[in-house]
Structure 1
Amino acid sequence: MIEPSNPKPRMTAPAATPAVRAAAEARGRAAEDRAAAALVADGFVVLARRCRTPAGELDLVAARDGLLAFCEVKARKTLTEAAFSLAPRQQARLLAAGEWWLGQNPGQGAAGVRFDVLLVDVAGRVRRVVDAFRLE
């Protein structure tokens, strides 16, 4: 039996050049720096940055008065675009990464644990969405 060929070839984006990747990395680090500064200004202590776990990376882990916050930083042209850039699959990855981190750091989060999203726009403005999502 002859199988029909796929009439629509799969379209993939061209690979980013090293310069494009380096620029994106620099923008991401600058956004994380802004987000960390906003957390510190609000009385948090940043415990970890870019924490790699078997489940994925946690951008920032911060604590204040026993409250532990796993923070995802989203940088886009506008705060609105940043707010809509966290997909459910990424939320699940962050929940798993947070669980791993808690397993490695017992005793943290005695006053509670939450997942915050810090939005950063092109002008460097930061808005924090407190307790942005939870394990259902």
Structure 2
Amino acid sequence: MKPSRSKPGTADRRRAERAGRWAETLAGLYLQLCFYTIVARRFKTPVGEIDLIVRRGRTLVFVEVKQRAGIEARDMALGAVNMGRISRAAQWYLARNRKFASFDCRFDVLLLAPWRWPHHLKNIFPAQ
């Protein structure tokens, strides 16, 4: 029987993992160039993962990074953003990092495609 493509040990899965890490690295560099400070990368919680947590001034931003092979697929990637998962993970993070309790929070999506500038969508859905 052929192994599942979603199993962690398959070559496709490992390649996707590397591509995701590379995309998050590029996204982090881009955000730093835009004067954000990286607070956390690949922050894992029991309720989900947040790709990047950054801040600028008194605003804490939870960033979902989506990389696609082409610009058309990149723009369609917005539908793959699981807002509930990100929101729950952000609440979990804030509950355990009280120093950010007084900060304004925002949810952004950073869309990446090869040989294109990143497309930064700010405040993609309201903080609850």
TM-score, normalised relative to structure 1 = 0.81
Distance 1:125 1:86, change over 3 A: same
Alignment RMSD (CA, Å) = 2.2
Distance 1:32 1:89, change over 3 A: closer
Unpaired segments ≥5 residues, structure 2: none
Matches within 5 A, 1:102-117: 102-108=94-100, 110-117=102-109
Give the residue type in structure 2 aligned to 1:48.
A
1:98 counterpart residue number: 90
Distance 1:77 1:65 in 2: 33
1:77 aligns with 2:69: yes
Q: Of the two, which has the highest radius of gyration?
A: 1
1:132 counterpart residue number: 124
Query: Do the aligned residues in 2 keep the contact of 1:67 with 1:110 (CA within 8 Å)?
Result: no
Q: Which runs of 4+ in 1 moved over 6 A?
A: none
1:15 counterpart residue number: 4
Deviations, residues 63-115 of structure 1 (Å, cap 9, x unaligned): 11111000000001234423332448711110110111110111316341000
TM-score, normalised relative to structure 2 = 0.85
| Larger helix share, 1 or 2 | 2
Distance 1:108 1:83, change over 3 A: farther
Matching residue within 26, 31, 34 for 1:42: 34
Give the residue type in structure 2 aligned to 1:72.
E
Distance 2:71 2:112 in 1: 6
Give the superposition deviation at 1:126.
Answer: 1.1
Give the residue type in structure 2 aligned to 1:29.
R
Give the residue type in structure 1 aligned to 2:4.
A
Matches within 5 A, 1:54-69: 54-69=46-61
Unpaired segments ≥5 residues, structure 1: 1-13
Distance 1:32 1:109, change over 3 A: farther
The alignment partner of 2:77 has SS state of coil
Give the residue type in structure 2 aligned to 1:15.
S
Aligned length: 124
